[in-house]
Structure 1
């Protein structure tokens, strides 16, 4: 069926200094993409004789044997031509914010499909690009960041690879398309994207091409002009990927930290130790990054630059404050008491999750497994109970509740209401 729907066949030809490499992909992951929605989309493009291919990261994932979470499409049709096609076919279009960049989102069978016209960059400033539309697949491939992200996949399974992306993927190599310096200067965020994909693709932690690192070092200052929100999206993915400790250390070695919100004099040794402790326990990104901060003031500066969420900022502040003082009792190393007491005393709804991250930070695997199944006991006394026994003053109720809480704590949270009330001197 897809040979009928495919717009073009692969044609072997010389392209600048590269040759177009093609192959045919036939995998279960690829076939699973063909829902009623995609079938309908393909029919529309085939009917109007416009080419439609899967683009970018989805191709990389499919070649790696993974079913992509998001699938983007590229086409030779312009936005106006796509709108005409979809309107004629009665297909709903949503979210027109991407239209000026060439992206139209069509909704078929309760699925959204983002389709982008092939583009070339006519002007870049290191953050944004002015584009023109084209029908040349190689030109669009040239403007992409990494070879492994520059491939296209026809709906008949034909791979179109202009820059040896498939070969690099097979060899676990991460390289920029063409000149690393030129690609970086088009968008400085590509420095962090390089690190992020290195953590996903490379087998070894330190197998970079020297010229790539040289280009990154020479252009690192450009990251200062990139928005904190965009940096934070990439940085979080770097930290939870493979080789995170190596990549964060490399960020410091290449003198990039000061431009991306990390402390210039971060504690790299502490970070490497914490990463080793936590890497197999699904730590939150901030759990690893917190190790770089020596003082809470550095967390505040990071937040100003990156605009992290309140939850992320509070976790960093919590870890910096409590990583030394809130620890297991050396006399009873298997006892959760210091941590459960802290959680109950804090009375904050997210305190247990914060302490779990602290235990990952400290490498306390056994205590962490126990805390994950521990339930916070409910204090059995309320102000209403005290009023029933004759305590009416708000101030006295508060003091009495605190006294009874201390008694309850000493009982290892075992006393019930009657036992606690028996301690009152009425």
Structure 2
């Protein structure tokens, strides 16, 4: 049944989205904005991509775009999706369809003109709303009521929806964490638990995408807790789940005025040692940079528990700002009863008040002191750098000369030159 409610959104009246709708809303065809953009607009939160559904076949969408000098990209044309790029904004335009057979991402589809049928093939009621160019909201599955209640609910039988694509288990918790309120819908939750073995059939790339989105949502703690209670996370992460440190990491980010960071939160959730980081990197097919960041966080994070500011300054120099911040926050999140110690916040804010200088001594300083080029030169530079750090980064010439002299003398004394 269609609700008479009207969405007052400026992007429906003018701009690139309105132009795409006008392009497709003529000569017997109809187009509407669907999915997340409608949901977010109704919730009063920023919208991301604007997706459009249409009765026009993909070839007709391409033809009209070409006639209007709009770039079209056949991003999923076998499934009816063409991306139109207008004024630098991409719009996924998908022909109405029915999934006649479903098996993960490889559904067999038939194109049609049935807006009700198209809505019923989607995952959750709040994602199945559509809005026409005049702002009229079309609701065939009770999505408006669920948005008002902040309730994430599967369309129809949850078990059937999940069997069509097991990624919907993760999407259920992510969408609830982002837009829901209170406990997850009971029927949906129980269906996810019953179907959890299906998570093993998903590609690591798809699981990674959903998990990294989930952990940075406002309701991540509640959703992650529900997933853990339902026995869902162990098969995904392949190890121990640390709920306390995960919640503590979110609080540490807040106190440090840092934005949510998915890899940092994943580390708090599942990384205690570097072996955990490498396991996650493999299981979720994380990028090399993501795995390296996890590995760095898992490496002796506990050293920060006893670090004073002088030692923290040295760690900041050694690790660099990003790795220092992430490893320190992991130590803070895992500090147990000591998390409330104000020292943690002071150390987290250290990069704002201290920028480590560059090591001022060079190879030429030691060659002038009789150290030959080669391995010993590298060794003496390391000795001098360690002494410079221990002396708290002096930059005055007398102290630098003394450090260089002492390092060179040690090499000569050991008979290595």
> For the residues of structure 2 that align with 1:270 and 1:87, how far apart are their CA atoms?
53
Q: Which residue among 260, 263, 268 is the counterpart of 1:286?
A: 263
Q: CA deviation at 1:254?
A: 1.4
The corresponding residue for 1:6 is none
For 1:218-255, what per-residue CA distance to the aligned partner results, in whole angstroms no more than 9, with x for missing partners?
Answer: 10111111111111111112111123223222222212
126 and 167 in structure 1: CA distance in 2 versus 1, 3 angstrom threshold: same
Please list, as runs of the form range in 1=range in 2, the aligned pairs for 1:50-61 lying within 5 A after superposition. Answer: 50-61=29-40
> For the residues of structure 2 that align with 1:214 and 1:358, how far apart are their CA atoms?
33
The corresponding residue for 1:343 is 316
Note if contact 1:145-1:190 (Cα within 8 Å) is conserved in structure 2.
yes
Structure 1 unaligned residues grouped into runs of 5+: 1-18, 330-334
> For the residues of structure 1 that align with 2:46 and 2:185, how far apart are their CA atoms?
29
Corresponding position: 1:83 with 2:62: yes
> For the residues of structure 1 that align with 2:129 and 2:296, how far apart are their CA atoms?
44
The corresponding residue for 1:414 is 394
For 1:249-272, what per-residue CA distance to the aligned partner results, in whole angstroms no more than 9, with x for missing partners?
Answer: 222221222432341x43344444
Q: Which residue among 71, 77, 84 is the counterpart of 1:106?
A: 84
Corresponding position: 1:226 with 2:199: no
The corresponding residue for 2:413 is none
Q: Which moved more, 1:180-189 or 1:382-391?
A: 382-391
TM-score normalised to the size of structure 2? 0.86
- Residue 392 of structure 1 aligns to a residue whose secondary structure is coil
Corresponding position: 1:48 with 2:27: yes
The corresponding residue for 2:414 is none
Structure 2 unaligned residues grouped into runs of 5+: 410-417
Q: Which moved more, 1:168-177 or 1:412-421?
A: 412-421
Q: CA RMSD in A?
A: 2.4
> For the residues of structure 1 that align with 2:248 and 2:86, how far apart are their CA atoms?
49
> For the residues of structure 1 that align with 2:82 and 2:173, how far apart are their CA atoms?
30
TM-score normalised to the size of structure 1? 0.85
> For the residues of structure 2 that align with 1:410 and 1:109, how far apart are their CA atoms?
56
Q: Which moved more, 1:295-304 or 1:214-223?
A: 295-304
The corresponding residue for 1:23 is 5
70 and 342 in structure 1: CA distance in 2 versus 1, 3 angstrom threshold: same
Q: CA deviation at 1:388?
A: 4.0
Note if contact 1:283-1:360 (Cα within 8 Å) is conserved in structure 2.
no
The corresponding residue for 1:402 is 382
| Between structures 1 and 2, the one with greater helix share | 2
Q: CA deviation at 1:184?
A: 0.8
Note if contact 1:21-1:164 (Cα within 8 Å) is conserved in structure 2.
no
- Residue 114 of structure 1 aligns to a residue whose secondary structure is strand
The corresponding residue for 1:14 is none
How many residues align? The count is 395
Please list, as runs of the form range in 1=range in 2, the aligned pairs for 1:10-409 lying within 5 A after superposition. Answer: 19-26=1-8, 30-32=9-11, 34-94=13-73, 96-204=74-182, 207-263=183-239, 265-278=240-253, 281-291=258-268, 292-329=270-307, 335-346=308-319, 350-358=322-330, 361=333, 362=335, 363=339, 364-409=344-389
340 and 34 in structure 1: CA distance in 2 versus 1, 3 angstrom threshold: farther
Note if contact 2:24-2:31 (Cα within 8 Å) is conserved in structure 1.
yes
